[in-house]
Amino acid sequence: MKVVVTGAAGMIGSNLVHGLNAIGIDDVIAVDDLTDGPKYRNLLGARLSDYFDRSEFYGRFARGEFGKVDAVLHEGACSDTMEHDGKYMMDTNYRCSKGLLDACQAQGVRLLYASSAATYGGSDTFREEPAFEQPLNVYGYSKLLFDNVVRRMLPTATSQVAGFRYFNVYGPREQHKGRMASVAFHHFNQFRDTGKVKLFGEYGGYGAGGQTRDFIHVDDVVAVNLWFLQNPGQSGIFNLGTGRAQPFNDVAVATVNASRALAGSPPLPLADLVQHGLIEYIPFPDALVGKYQCYTQADDTRLRATGCDHVFADVAHGVKRYVDWLSLQKA
């Protein structure tokens, strides 16, 4: 099987490449923009058949220059939710994806692509229906616009098209993302560097650290993508979260206790971690007021209806696994 992975040096893309290799697929064409050179580290140890810069790949693929490709796993995007350049966002996330979709359909190539829970924005219901899609930024809108194109073409699609609305993904190979890296990543580094973790205080009707999200380990994201790759009859737009909302306090507790365990110290409950100054609450930033999702929880009904029965890790187990991995990485 020949598979293309766009955004291959990014967090989800690189984990997908390693996941493909793990199931015996090594005819993998990686596509990315390595202007940020250190991202190459995410692909160390991966078995690739070729690599192309994104500026070269899309035109050549549309012209059919890569021969028979079985599937494209399209993770390439601008994922910075605070990016305000709408033209850049639409060119990168919408127009590029639309051209890729057209090329895949013309050549009979299956397309699995990254959408986002940001398509729901201000909604309090997270079901794959237009009534609940209220993006709060141009990033979410760019993803929604492409989802809507997919919806219109699915009845006449010539090959599999599946979009995944990722919720809050955390896990290995996200160090290059800077401020857009997961809460778990930042908590690990805060605790390592300062001995404490900082969380937002009260906001949006939620108590300190009580805002809740659907946090999903990247290994689970990879597992679902690979399930769809192995089940080509399943198309559509699907939420990809655990279906379990947990407060940021849970992430902080899991991170601190996993870090303490590495030092031989016993776990402590939230109240004790706060009392000892290991978790600290800070005022909610003005810049995020009105632009922040205080609650997300994937409705996984549509995903489960496909027959995908993958079991997702909860925060306690997933974050511990991630902290253990981070502790082994070189600075």
- Whether 68 sits among the annotated catalytic residues: the reply is no
Beta strands in the chain (DSSP E): 2-6, 27-32, 50-53, 71-74, 110-116, 161-166, 168-170, 197-200, 212-213, 215-217, 236-240, 246-247, 279-282
Taking residue 271's Cβ as centre, other Cβ atoms within 10 Å add up to: 9
Catalytic residue among 58, 113, 139, 141: 139
Task: Look up tokens 């511990």; give the residue.
Answer: 320
Q: Phi/psi of residue 149, each to 5°?
A: -60, -45
Integer Cα distance of 208 and 290 in angstroms: 17
Tell me whether strands 246-247 and 212-213 are parallel, antiparallel or unpaired: antiparallel
- Whether 203 sits among the annotated catalytic residues: the reply is no
| Pick from 293, 275, 294, 142: nearest CA to 211 | 294
For residues 144 and 133, the answer to whether their CB atoms sit within 8 Å is yes
Taking residue 87's Cβ as centre, other Cβ atoms within 10 Å add up to: 8
HSE at residue 188, side-chain half, CA atoms within 13 A, is 26
Partner residues linked to 5 by β-bridges = 30, 73
Taking residue 197's Cβ as centre, other Cβ atoms within 10 Å add up to: 25
Could you tell me how far CA 310 lies from the centroid of its own chain? Answer: 17
157 three-class SS: coil
Catalytic residue among 98, 177, 196, 198: 177
Burial 147-165, CB ≥16 within 10 A → b, else e: beebeeeeeeeebbbbbbb
Active site residues: 139, 177
